Structure 1
Amino acid sequence: MKSKATSPFWVPIYAFFATIMLGGLLLKLDICHPGKELSFIDAIFTATSAVCVTGLAVLDTGTFFSRTGQSIILALIQLGGLGIMTYASLVIYLLGKKVSASDRIAVSQTLIHDPSFNIGKFVVGVVTAVLSIEGLGALLLNRLDPVGFYWFSAVFHSISAFCNAGFSLYSDSLTTWKNNLGVNAVFMTLIVMGGLGFYVMSEVWQKFINLFRKRKTKMSAHFISWHTRTVLETSLFLIIAGGLAVFFAESFKIHIVKGAEINKISALFQSVSCRTAGFNTVNISGLTNISLLVMIGLMLIGGSPGSCAGGLKTTTFRTWIGFIISKIKGHSQVRVGWYALTKESVNRALTLLTLASVILGSAIILLSITEGSHLPHIEARGHFIEITFEAVSAFATVGLSTGVTPDLSGPGKSIIIMLMFVGRLGPVWLLTAINSWQKEPRYRLPEDDLPLG
């Protein structure tokens, strides 16, 4: 049993859980909110949201918490953004100790899904690059608006953006800078870079360096790898298509709710942000149901594998589209770009979609019970889409809300906490961890076909 409990697939689960509990206990300290009461459930909710880089908040981060409390939240965001295992392996590597095989598997699965890479050099490179990008982002934000983004605010928002956390020190998030092209560009760049995946960023950076230095590289049929091209093409498509969909959905609105008027910049920003980051430059509760449905779809897809982002991931979405096209055309193989996917990859994607549907469906039903089962339908109109939006936002670790988060009941907060935790780890990872405790039967049952459809 001991070997099963220490399976490498369980290491990240233990690490995230321990960090959340420690963060919750630290946030409970009076120094984090002098003279204000913070319940245990709200402390754990805030810590979970930070470690799982979600951004959902039951309390206003900028006014309720002191600078100490905000610093603890920022530390939790940074730890959660890159993954606890990343930092643990970095410390081990810098201390000159050998990284265990279990740590290698756990971190490689979290970062680039390749257990053969040099974990020490890669992790050092990732952390160095991330800190450099976050530092540059903070500097740019401070120069663009020294008052709104004073030094701590600039650092806080830069880290929150790159880690796709969505936490802001302002109660209205980034609506003040709705029409500021420079600030919007910095945030969108940080969010996109944090959501592409560390392997993709590393490859793109290496290609750029090689071109700049005019260094000859190994001959290949393609300039970039299949994985990187798939991620970049899918991400670009989702950003543009999402922005256009939100913009046109809001263009036909009869009346404008205060703070919800949308332009091309804010439509593009929400398309980028709602896939994983959780910042908003418009009032989400004032958007049309069409926009909310579009955003729910984008949130579910999320970012890319091995990144700070949550969601089902862009590669899963691309696999799903390829699967549908192959069935329509009657092809036996599922093609994505240059190659056809293995049956194992297709089954993994379909399993992920099935698990996500079951988890979200169950959570939405439970939230409907805890948050509005006493209300007749005529009084609960619009409540269902708000609950659905909240559940998807938590599961995809996005952090956008129509405003129901602070009003959640205790059981409702517990459901959202579980969604954030499962969403950050990934349902397939959790299933794999559970399966690692199981034994494959040593027998086979007779097989037969069952009429379907």
Structure 2
Amino acid sequence: MLIMGFALTIVVGTALLLLDACRAGGELSLVDALFTATSAVCVTGLAVVDTGSFFSSTGHVVLLGLIQLGGLGIMTYSSMVFLLWRQRVSLSDRLAVRQTLLHDPSFNMATFLRQVVLACLLLELLGAACLYLFDSESFPPFSALFHAVSAFCNAGFSLQGDSLVAWKDHAGINLTFMALIILGGLGFAVLLELAERIGRIRLRDRASLPARLSWHSRIVLTTSFMLIAGGALAIYLAEFSLHQGQFSHAEEFLASVFQSVTCRTAGFNTMNIGGLTNISLLVMMGLMFVGGSPGSCAGGVKTTTFRALLAFCLARLRGRRQSVVARRFALDEASMNDALTLIMFGMVIIGVAALVLSITEVGAVPHNQTRGLFLELLFECVSAFATVGLSTGVTPNLTVTGKLVITVLMFIGRLGPIVFISLLHDLQRTERFMWPEKRLPMG
């Protein structure tokens, strides 16, 4: 049902974008319309045409609706509508929403979904108000709302031709976008826990306040901070350490941090991605592959998966049998298997897509005539799978087959990890015997 819901929304979005009323001028092919609709519903942000100038106001409204639907999830909206109509929500809908948003079997669905929708709309409206106040000429009411929804849903669609390059030194605009991107990528469960905690502090209801955040929330917050700080430092060293004097310290700091934050599947940029060093592109691919956190608008294999892999590696280096996270609990075998399987699944999908693009875009052209193109195509594949939307500029120049490959990759990246893990659990069975073990030399 989750796949059918997203697929149907993409089909409807494609049909709407093909209408003359949605275009300001020029023709839009069926493949380009499908690509754009998929990018919007899967909150990716990759574009084959300039969103601001090619589409009309009606087209912008259609894209805004597709982004909002994709960000919060088709199953979330359908279940919310049923609840408002006071109809019974099916068990399959409950399981789908639980698996997508919370990963926790104990919660009240009606209350949770109302809180999710209200919290998201409130944050988006607050972000739009900030953008309008900071620059009302560049961000009139609709533009401010469009960019706020795109940022919170981690979509990356912008009505500006160069994304946010014009505001690379505007602290207010940068901080607003970064706040929306980070909040949209933390996960609804973490947001609600933080909101509840802040509300109790403001009401001075400390008696019922837990001493610490939940284990899951602490892992998400600490891992997110670690990735953002580490990515910003790496990008700063790669881009600005050898160019002292060309940029102010404030511009260097904002640009480095913003690029690190936007790699969390947001897709906005304040620097020309195609002009970055190979070091920065490699670092950004790593950040994009990890993505945001479970139950959020972000894509990627998720921060908890990365933290599990890190704990697994440290445990093996120290000779531990268990993978301990946050010095408190060890991951169970099922969680560890999910993390390792999901990482392998993502790497295989990206590798196959990069191979196919190498065939469709390069073919039999010798390597010495296509230097640098493979890195750009690999960057495009990682960006599509992680539903980020950052590009070095090759998206509009892809062949029809290449665009279809990226379209499928965006769809798989948005739904693949959830469906893959669910299918894996359904196919797995507990064996009631042990195989004889034998050591195999390694290294």
Whether TM-score is above 0.5 comes out as: yes
C-alpha distance 347-415 of structure 1, shift in aligned 2 (>3 A): same
Q: Displacement of 1:441 after TM fit?
A: 9.9
- Asked if the contact 1:30/1:36 (under 8 Å) is kept, the reply is no
Q: Displacement of 1:451 after TM fit?
A: 2.3
Q: Hey, what's the Cα distance between the residues in 2 that align with 1:272 and 1:145?
A: 22
Q: Is 1:234 the equivalent of 2:223?
A: yes
Kindly report which structure 2 residues correspond to 1:115-264, keeping only aligned pairs within 5 A, or say none.
115-218=105-208, 222-252=211-241, 263-264=252-253
Instruction: Report the equivalent of 2:394.
Output: 404
Kindly report which structure 2 residues correspond to 1:424-443, keeping only aligned pairs within 5 A, or say none.
424-430=414-420, 432-433=422-423, 436=426
C-alpha distance 447-58 of structure 1, shift in aligned 2 (>3 A): farther
Instruction: Report the equivalent of 2:286.
Output: 297
Gaps of 5+ in 2: none
What is the CA deviation profile of residues 370-394 of structure 1, one whole-angstrom value per residue up to 9, with x for unaligned ones? 1112321111000111011000000
Instruction: Report the equivalent of 1:7.
Output: none
Q: After alignment, is 391-400 or 425-434 more displaced?
A: 425-434
What is the CA deviation profile of residues 282-321 of structure 1, one whole-angstrom value per residue up to 9, with x for unaligned ones? 1001100000001001101100000000011110010000
Q: Is 1:287 the equivalent of 2:272?
A: no
Q: Hey, what's the Cα distance between the residues in 2 that align with 1:254 and 1:160?
A: 32
Q: Displacement of 1:275 after TM fit?
A: 1.7
1:276 to 265, 281, 297: 265
Instruction: Report the equivalent of 1:39.
Output: 29
2:39 to 23, 46, 49: 49
Instruction: Report the equivalent of 1:316.
Output: 305
Q: Hey, what's the Cα distance between the residues in 2 that align with 1:253 and 1:370?
A: 37
Instruction: Report the equivalent of 1:76.
Output: 66
Relative to the length of structure 2, the TM-score reads 0.95
Q: Displacement of 1:36 after TM fit?
A: 2.1
Instruction: Report the equivalent of 2:19.
Output: 29
Q: Displacement of 1:171 after TM fit?
A: 1.1
Q: Displacement of 1:217 after TM fit?
A: 4.3
C-alpha distance 89-217 of structure 1, shift in aligned 2 (>3 A): farther
- Asked if the contact 1:210/1:217 (under 8 Å) is kept, the reply is no
C-alpha distance 39-434 of structure 1, shift in aligned 2 (>3 A): farther
Q: Hey, what's the Cα distance between the residues in 2 that align with 1:344 and 1:443?
A: 17
Query: Helix, strand or coil: the match of 1:426?
Result: helix
1:327 to 293, 302, 316: 316
**Equivalent residue pairs, number:** 439
Aligned amino acid, residue 282 of structure 1 = M
Q: Displacement of 1:429 after TM fit?
A: 2.1
C-alpha distance 35-171 of structure 1, shift in aligned 2 (>3 A): closer
Q: After alignment, is 355-364 or 26-35 more displaced?
A: 26-35
- Asked if the contact 1:257/1:286 (under 8 Å) is kept, the reply is no
Q: Displacement of 1:430 after TM fit?
A: 3.0
Q: Is 1:395 the equivalent of 2:390?
A: no
Task: Note the aligned Cα RMSD (angstroms).
Answer: 2.2
Q: Hey, what's the Cα distance between the residues in 1 that align with 2:359 and 2:245?
A: 32
Q: Is 1:359 the equivalent of 2:379?
A: no
Instruction: Report the equivalent of 2:340.
Output: 350
Q: Hey, what's the Cα distance between the residues in 1 that align with 2:209 and 2:66?
A: 43
Aligned amino acid, residue 176 of structure 1 = A
Instruction: Report the equivalent of 2:96.
Output: 106
Q: Displacement of 1:111 after TM fit?
A: 0.4
Q: Hey, what's the Cα distance between the residues in 1 that align with 2:361 and 2:244?
A: 29
- Asked if the contact 2:200/2:209 (under 8 Å) is kept, the reply is no
Q: Hey, what's the Cα distance between the residues in 2 that align with 1:262 and 1:144?
A: 17
C-alpha distance 158-58 of structure 1, shift in aligned 2 (>3 A): same
Q: Hey, what's the Cα distance between the residues in 2 that align with 1:448 and 1:341?
A: 23
Q: Is 1:375 the equivalent of 2:370?
A: no
- Asked if the contact 1:352/1:428 (under 8 Å) is kept, the reply is no
Q: Displacement of 1:253 after TM fit?
A: 5.0
Q: Displacement of 1:101 after TM fit?
A: 1.1
Gaps of 5+ in 1: 1-10
Q: Is 1:423 the equivalent of 2:413?
A: yes
C-alpha distance 98-257 of structure 1, shift in aligned 2 (>3 A): farther
C-alpha distance 420-125 of structure 1, shift in aligned 2 (>3 A): same
Q: Displacement of 1:423 after TM fit?
A: 0.8
Q: Hey, what's the Cα distance between the residues in 1 that align with 2:174 and 2:94?
A: 37
Q: Displacement of 1:99 after TM fit?
A: 1.2
2:78 to 84, 88, 95: 88
Q: Hey, what's the Cα distance between the residues in 1 that align with 2:381 and 2:295?
A: 23
- Asked if the contact 2:338/2:421 (under 8 Å) is kept, the reply is no
C-alpha distance 256-358 of structure 1, shift in aligned 2 (>3 A): farther
